[in-house]
């Protein structure tokens, strides 16, 4: 017992001096680390916002994006905070009553007012971009298209955001910004990874964009877009096919099959037992088909279904022109297309249709996709309606046609083979943000993707804190060791008596 007590008494760690040094040391370390952590802690997140309205041919959607306020110039990640689907049809459908185009946006704009904190309203940029529906209206009736824009502009200026204008995007912009969105969301641009191609299928036009392997831009300069993003150069191939969105292509298919003006038409792209009356004038009311209108057509025709995928494919193929190509290679309609490269993300109607048909899984071989479609198209219309009572009949009736069109466009049009078909991923969104051109458009207009890679701190915050802690501990230990000569009796071994 007494030996133990003596040891305790002689233990240098129990002298008042060392206890004081230790306590001060510990306090110093805690203070040092706390200051380091607090000083470099990311400040509580404040966000900035941007709003883009996608005025598509079939409908308008509003997207709100947000990003950390203190990092807006380069490093902060922009994410979709909210989206709102405008009720009713696209703005181009209001050609005869333009004010209604403006009014149609009110509900979603009110939602945006609620979603964006009011102190940020005034600085939040608001853009409207119109695509193929307005492109067609602009071709058909310039004055009507201008009136629609006037009405839309007036409506948007009535909200407290920083309105930045409404305009028609070129097909090239639509394709290129879709590609930017997909690759930005996948973090491929910042990391300089191989990029993903983008396939967008709308109601009135469709876009294909990818970075080809070796690519002679001079062959068709109008199909190329050069980007410098985060210090990397990209030569993007992009093309937009006006009239090859799924609604306009359906018009073309119907026009092709009714070119002799019959009273009843049997359509392999619609289910057996399907039958509706359609109006000739309504069918031909689009620049995509207006020239094909039969001379002496009756007012209406009966559109009946036969349900045959392979015959439907034959009809769809007649809508592509493969005969003339003045370049080294073409997709269709004499449009240059370099060899396909890498993987692709296919979104908007590609996704809606393939998702409905349960065909989004990339592991499904092309042959199986076709077999499933053949089976689906051959299913009687009554049965289809019974199986999907929740789906709008207009959508439901068209999935056989749309699925057939998608497969035909991808394989015959763009030259995907049974090997490369599996490189297509049918996607709706990436990490919570919808795939589409809107995000890329906003990133571009707000200069949010820098041309050069931004300087980043050499260490991440956690690494910095760990290193500060370790160095502080080492210094403390060193300090304690350096005191050894003044420790009373500490150089002597404790003697057991």
Ligand X SMILES: Nc1ccn([C@@H]2O[C@H](COP(=O)(O)OP(=O)(O)OP(=O)(O)O)[C@@H](O)[C@H]2O)c(=O)n1
Please state the closest distance from residue 355 (CB atom) to ligand X, in A: 8
Q: How many residues does the chain have?
A: 497
Nearest to ligand X of 426, 476 (CB atom): 426
Nearest to Ca ion of 403, 436 (CB atom): 436
Sole binder of ligand X in the list 56, 305, 338, 403 (CB under 6 A): 56
Check whether 207 is labelled as a binding-site residue. yes
User: Does position 132 bind ligand X by CB under 6 A?
Assistant: yes
The listed partner (ligand X, Ca ion, none) that binds 145, CB under 5 to 8 Å by sort, is none
CB atoms within 10 A of CB 433: 20
Looking only at the bridges linking them, the beta strands covering 162-168 and 125-130 are parallel
Please state the closest distance from residue 198 (CB atom) to ligand X, in A: 13
Sole binder of ligand X in the list 18, 25, 50, 57 (CB under 6 A): 57
Token code pair at residue 262: 């019959």
d(CA 235, CA 225): 6
Paired with 429 in beta bridges are 434
Contact residues for 44 (Cβ-Cβ < 8 A; gap 6+): none
Backbone torsions φ then ψ of 305, nearest 5 degrees: -100, 150
* Residues 412 and 317 sit within 8 Å (Cβ to Cβ): yes
Stretch that binds ligand X, among 53-61, 289-297, 410-418, 439-447 (CB under 6 A): 53-61
| CA–CA distances in Å: residue 486 to residues 226, 384, 480, 494 | 71, 92, 11, 16
Residue the block writes with tokens 């078909």: 421
> Which strands make up the sheet holding 424-426, listed edge to edge?
224-229, 232-242, 205-210, 197-201, 344-348, 424-426
Sole binder of ligand X in the list 133, 178, 338, 403 (CB under 6 A): 133
- Within a 13 Å sphere around the CA of 490, how many CA atoms are in the beta-carbon half? 16
User: Does position 322 bind ligand X by CB under 6 A?
Assistant: no
Considering only residues 173 through 232, tell me which ones interact with Ca ion, judged by CB under 5 A: 202
Nearest to ligand X of 391, 490 (CB atom): 391
Check whether 238 is labelled as a binding-site residue. no
Please state the closest distance from residue 463 (CB atom) to ligand X, in A: 44
The listed partner (ligand X, Ca ion, none) that binds 171, CB under 5 to 8 Å by sort, is none
Please state the closest distance from residue 229 (CB atom) to ligand X, in A: 24
Taking the alpha carbons at both ends of the chain, their separation in whole angstroms is 11
Q: Which sequence positions are flagged as catalytic?
A: 174
* Residues 300 and 370 sit within 8 Å (Cβ to Cβ): no
Nearest to ligand X of 424, 472 (CB atom): 424
Considering only residues 237 through 256, tell me which ones interact with ligand X, judged by CB under 6 A: 245-247
* Residues 247 and 58 sit within 8 Å (Cβ to Cβ): yes
Sole binder of Ca ion in the list 50, 56, 171, 440 (CB under 5 A): 56
Please state the closest distance from residue 434 (CB atom) to ligand X, in A: 10
Residue the block writes with tokens 């400040």: 43
Check whether 4 is labelled as a binding-site residue. no
The listed partner (ligand X, Ca ion, none) that binds 305, CB under 5 to 8 Å by sort, is none
Size of the site for ligand X (CB under 6 A): 20
DSSP state string for 186-249? TTTTTTTPPPPEEEEE-SSEEEEEE--SS--GGG-GGGEEEEEETTEEEEEEEEEEET-SHHHH
User: Does position 352 bind ligand X by CB under 6 A?
Assistant: yes
The listed partner (Ca ion, ligand X, none) that binds 268, CB under 5 to 8 Å by sort, is none
Nearest to Ca ion of 56, 197 (CB atom): 56
Helices (H), 341-436: 349-356, 366-378, 381-387, 393-408
For 68, the 3-state DSSP assignment is: strand
Please state the closest distance from residue 199 (CB atom) to ligand X, in A: 12
Check whether 155 is labelled as a binding-site residue. no
Stretch that binds Ca ion, among 51-59, 120-128, 283-291, 374-382 (CB under 5 A): 51-59
Please state the closest distance from residue 140 (CB atom) to ligand X, in A: 15
Nearest to ligand X of 392, 493 (CB atom): 392
Contact residues for 463 (Cβ-Cβ < 8 A; gap 6+): none
Token code pair at residue 204: 């009135």
Considering only residues 373 through 432, tell me which ones interact with ligand X, judged by CB under 6 A: 395
* Residues 94 and 470 sit within 8 Å (Cβ to Cβ): no
Stretch that binds ligand X, among 31-39, 199-207, 276-284, 413-421 (CB under 6 A): 199-207
Between CA 140 and CA 145, with CA 144 as vertex, the angle to 5 degrees is: 75
Sole binder of ligand X in the list 50, 178, 197, 202 (CB under 6 A): 202
For 263, the 3-state DSSP assignment is: coil
Sole binder of ligand X in the list 49, 50, 52, 58 (CB under 6 A): 58
To the nearest 10°, report the CA torsion of 239, 244, 246, 252: 180
Considering only residues 137 through 196, tell me which ones interact with ligand X, judged by CB under 6 A: none
Please state the closest distance from residue 247 (CB atom) to ligand X, in A: 4
Check whether 261 is labelled as a binding-site residue. no
Nearest to Ca ion of 56, 102 (CB atom): 56
Nearest to Ca ion of 60, 257 (CB atom): 60
**Using CB under 6 A as the criterion, which residues of the chain lie in contact with ligand X when the complex forms?**
56-59, 90, 131-133, 202-205, 245-247, 348-349, 352-353, 395
| Residue list, annotated binding site for ATP | 203-207
**Using CB under 5 A as the criterion, which residues of the chain lie in contact with Ca ion when the complex forms?**
56, 202
């Amino acid at each position: 017992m007494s030996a133990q007590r003596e040891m305790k008494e002689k233990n240098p760690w129990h002298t008042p001096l060392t206890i004081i040094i230790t306590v001060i040391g510990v306090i110093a370390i805690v203070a040092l680390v706390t200051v380091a952590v607090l000083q470099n802690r990311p400040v509580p997140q404040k966000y900035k916002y941007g709003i883009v309205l996608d005025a598509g041919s079939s409908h308008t959607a509003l997207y709100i994006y947000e990003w950390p306020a203190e990092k807006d110039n380069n490093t902060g990640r922009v994410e979709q905070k909210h989206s709102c689907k405008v009720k009713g049809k696209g703005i181009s459908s209001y050609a005869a009553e333009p004010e209604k185009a403006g009014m149609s946006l009110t509900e979603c704009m009110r939602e945006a007012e609620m979603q964006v904190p009011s102190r940020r309203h005034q600085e939040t940029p608001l853009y409207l971009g119109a695509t193929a529906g307005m492109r067609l209206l602009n071709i058909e009736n310039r004055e009507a298209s201008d009136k629609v824009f006037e009405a839309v502009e007036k409506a948007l200026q009535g909200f407290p955001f920083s309105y930045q204008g409404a305009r028609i995007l070129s097909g090239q912009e639509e394709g290129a910004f879709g590609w930017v969105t997909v690759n930005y969301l996948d973090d491929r641009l910042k990391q300089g990874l191989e990029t993903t191609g983008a396939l967008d299928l709308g109601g009135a036009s469709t876009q294909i964009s990818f970075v080809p392997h070796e690519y002679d831009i001079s062959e068709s300069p109008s199909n190329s877009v050069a980007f410098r993003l985060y210090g990397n150069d990209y030569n993007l191939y992009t093309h937009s096919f006006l009239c090859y969105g799924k609604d306009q292509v359906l018009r073309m298919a119907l026009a092709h099959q009714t070119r002799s003006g019959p009273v009843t038409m049997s359509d392999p792209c619609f289910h057996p037992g399907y039958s509706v009356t359609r109006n000739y004038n309504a069918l031909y009311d689009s620049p995509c088909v207006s020239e094909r209108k039969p001379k002496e057509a009756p007012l209406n025709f009966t559109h009946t279904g036969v349900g045959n995928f392979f015959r439907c494919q034959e009809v769809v193929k007649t809508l592509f022109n493969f005969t003339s190509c003045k370049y080294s290679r073409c997709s269709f309609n004499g449009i240059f297309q370099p060899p396909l490269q890498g993987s692709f993300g296919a979104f908007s109607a590609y996704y809606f249709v393939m998702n409905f048909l349960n065909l989004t899984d990339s592991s499904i071989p092309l042959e199986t996709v076709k077999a499933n479609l053949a089976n689906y198209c051959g299913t009687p219309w009554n049965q289809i309606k019974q199986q999907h009572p929740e789906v709008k009949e207009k959508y439901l009736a068209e999935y056989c046609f749309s699925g057939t069109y998608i497969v035909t466009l991808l394989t015959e049009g763009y030259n995907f083979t049974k090997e490369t078909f599996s490189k297509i991923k049918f996607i709706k969104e990436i990490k919570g943000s919808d795939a589409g051109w809107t995000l890329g458009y906003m990133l571009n207009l707000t200069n949010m993707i820098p041309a050069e890679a931004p300087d980043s701190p050499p260490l991440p915050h956690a690494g910095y804190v760990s290193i500060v802690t370790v160095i502080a501990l080492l210094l403390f230990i060193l300090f304690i060791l350096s005191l050894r000569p003044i420790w009373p009796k500490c150089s002597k071994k404790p003697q057991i008596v």
